[in-house]
Amino acid sequence: MASDADSGGASVVFGVSGGLVTACMLGGGAAFVVEERLEHQYRQGWNLIPLVVAASDLEEGELITLDQISQRSVPEQFVTTAMVLPDSYKQLMNATIHRPVHAGDPMTWRLFVSAVQSRLNAEVARQRRTFTPDR
């Protein structure tokens, strides 16, 4: 009779400890999944995207050559469609830059607008008429 009572108590202890081990494993697995999701969420927007940048200070009117540009990686949340990506760098070769650029600054397509467009932008910025209608 004593052995029946001992085996009943032992099975309860084994059952409880087995349940605790299972619960810890499930809890640990759930914590791992939550941690992975949070890490993915926090990394979103911080993936690095390569951009074309000025290798040195550039003055207005300079022709762009290969030795005047470089590549730098920037977090994707700071990249806009106006910035030049490395696969488009050939379009910049021998183009005239219409605004000064500091070394390391991203090259944007707006730096290469035509001189006529640049003057037009200046007139509009001063809130002046860009043309006078004929009467």
Radius of gyration of the chain (CA): 33
44: DSSP letter: T
User: What is the CA 9 to chain-centroid distance, rounded?
Assistant: 60
Residue range 10-54, pLDDT digits in tens: 677 667 777 777 877 777 777 777 788 878 777 777 889 999 999
Whether 89 and 128 have beta carbons less than 8 Å apart is answered as no
In this prediction, residue 52 carries a pLDDT of: 96
What is the pTM (predicted TM-score) of this model? Answer: 0.57
pLDDT for 124 beyond 90? no
Q: Which residues contact 72 (CB under 8 A, 6 or more apart)?
A: 50, 51, 53, 104, 106
CA dist 80 and 11 (Å) reads: 65
Do residues 106 and 52 touch, judged by C-beta distance below 8 A? yes
